């Protein structure tokens, strides 16, 4: 399989669906809908929705049936970026090479746009849940809610803030990113599968895949922040160091960080061994995560 063709097809599918699911940029609620669209439809890798589709495919499901949930994951990702960028958080002016939401729409509107995207995500997940047996749909809602909250993304964000300026060790750093980045990535690939199968062995395999790939993704991100191409990653290189954040390269050096990321990718691919060729896109995505330059 050709990964770049696969990713391009997924992205096209997802961007079309996002455009339909996002409310129109009319003036009915001032510029709120415009703010939603500005952040969600910004150019991006669409990694989380792609993982939902690939998770469904890995268990023999029809990826088109999980599209609402795939879009929901991108809404949750966008919500977290908008709130992370706010002045009381990281106070960033640029994101993905464009002005951040609060710089364009103001702080109050950005706050509310983030809130609205989290709510919209559950509307979309409900659309997927309505099409599968009750227990399965409810489990997917619970899974994604948990991955977004205190035992997931928000919890990781809090730990990350608490660690700023402190010398955290490797285990603490892993824990921060397992929650902050890993939980939602794991939820994405697992949710895609859970909407299509009840097979516990497959679902657990995808969970392990998600956890390994999530951490590898963060290490690769940290490396790009040191050696990346500013024009490609869309934000100034070196921002982690300036914010006095502990990172993998800072803790282990670039070479050892690369080795760790590669070990995690191998682990992720091994986790997929119970799954057949339907999981090939996931295998290719795992390799891509450490090879990408953006």
Site for a second copy, rule CB under 8 A: 23, 28-30, 32-33, 36, 79, 83, 86-89, 107-109, 111-112, 114-116, 118-123, 125-127, 129-130, 132-139, 141-142, 144-146, 148-152, 154-155, 157-159, 161-162
Tokens of 19: 């455009």
Shortest Cβ 203–a second copy spacing (Å):
16
Nearer to a second copy, 143 or 282 (CB): 143
213 burial via Cβ count (<10 Å: 0-12, 13-18, 19+): buried
> Among residues 43 and 149, whose Cβ is nearest to a second copy?
149
Interatomic CA distance for residues 242 and 93, integer angstroms: 15
Q: How far is the CB of 130 from a second copy (least distance, A)?
A: 4
Taking the complex as a whole, the smallest distance from the CB of residue 45 to a second copy amounts, in Å, to: 23
Residues 212, 289: contact at Cβ < 8 Å?
no
Q: Which is nearer to a second copy, 140 or 268 (CB)?
A: 140
HSE toward the beta carbon, residue 194, CA cutoff 13 A: 26
Shorter beta-carbon distance to a second copy: residue 130 or 227: 130
Identify which of residues 207 and 257 has a Cβ nearer to a second copy in the complex: 207
Q: How far is the CB of 125 from a second copy (least distance, A)?
A: 7
| Least distance between a second copy and beta carbon 86 (Å) | 7
Beta carbon of residue 229, minimum distance to a second copy (angstroms, whole number): 31
Cα separation, 242 vs 122, in Å, equals 36
Q: Specify whether the CB–CB gap between 50 and 76 falls below 8 A.
A: no
Question: What single string gives the DSSP state of each residue in 79-135?
Answer: HHHHHHHSTTTT--SEETTEE-HHHHH-HHHHHHHHHHHHHHHHHHHHHHHTTS-HH
Question: Min. distance of Cβ 224 from a second copy in angstroms?
Answer: 25
Cβ-based nearer residue to a second copy, 142 or 241: 142
CB of 188 to a second copy, least distance (A): 15
Asked if 77 and 218 count as a contact pair (C-beta separation under 8 A), the reply is no
User: Which segments within 6-155 are labelled E, that is strand?
Assistant: 28-31, 94-95, 98-99
Question: How many residues in the chain?
Answer: 294
Neighbours of 91 (CB within 10 A): 12
The answer to whether 87 touches 102, Cβ cutoff 8 Å, is yes
Query: CB-wise, 144 or 272, nearer to a second copy?
Result: 144
Pick the closer one to a second copy by CB: 98 or 146.
146
DSSP string, 158-203: HHHHHHTTS---HHHHHHHHIIIIIHHHHHHHHHHHHTT---HHHH
- Tokens representing 229? 């191409």
């Amino acid at each position: 399989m050709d990964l770049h063709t696969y990713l391009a097809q997924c992205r096209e599918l997802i961007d079309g669906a996002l455009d339909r699911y996002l409310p129109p940029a009319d003036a009915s609620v001032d510029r709120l809908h415009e703010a939603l669209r500005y952040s969600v439809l910004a150019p991006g890798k669409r990694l989380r929705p792609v993982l939902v589709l690939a998770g469904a495919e890995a268990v023999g499901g029809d990826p088109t049936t999980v599209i609402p949930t795939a879009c929901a994951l991108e809404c949750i990702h966008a919500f977290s970026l908008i709130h992370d960028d706010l002045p009381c958080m990281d106070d960033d002016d640029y994101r993905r090479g464009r002005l951040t939401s609060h710089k364009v729409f103001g702080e109050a509107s950005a706050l509310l746009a983030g809130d609205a995207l989290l709510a919209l995500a559950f509307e979309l997940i409900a659309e997927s849940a309505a099409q599968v047996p009750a227990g399965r749909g409810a489990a997917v809602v619970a899974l994604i809610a948990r991955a977004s909250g205190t035992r997931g993304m928000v919890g990781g964000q809090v730990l990350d803030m608490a660690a700023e300026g402190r010398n955290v060790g490797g285990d603490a750093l892993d824990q921060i990113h397992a929650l902050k980045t890993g939980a939602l990535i794991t939820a994405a690939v697992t949710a895609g599968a859970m909407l299509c199968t009840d097979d516990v062995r497959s679902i657990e395999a995808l969970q392990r895949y998600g956890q390994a790939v999530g951490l590898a993704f963060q290490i690769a991100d940290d490396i790009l922040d040191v050696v990346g191409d500013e024009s490609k990653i869309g934000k100034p290189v070196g921002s982690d160091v300036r914010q006095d954040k502990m990172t993998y390269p800072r803790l282990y050096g670039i070479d050892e960080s690369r080795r760790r990321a590669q070990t995690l990718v191998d682990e992720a691919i091994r986790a997929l061994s119970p799954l057949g060729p339907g999981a090939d896109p996931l295998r290719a995505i795992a390799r891509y995560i450490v090879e990408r330059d953006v």
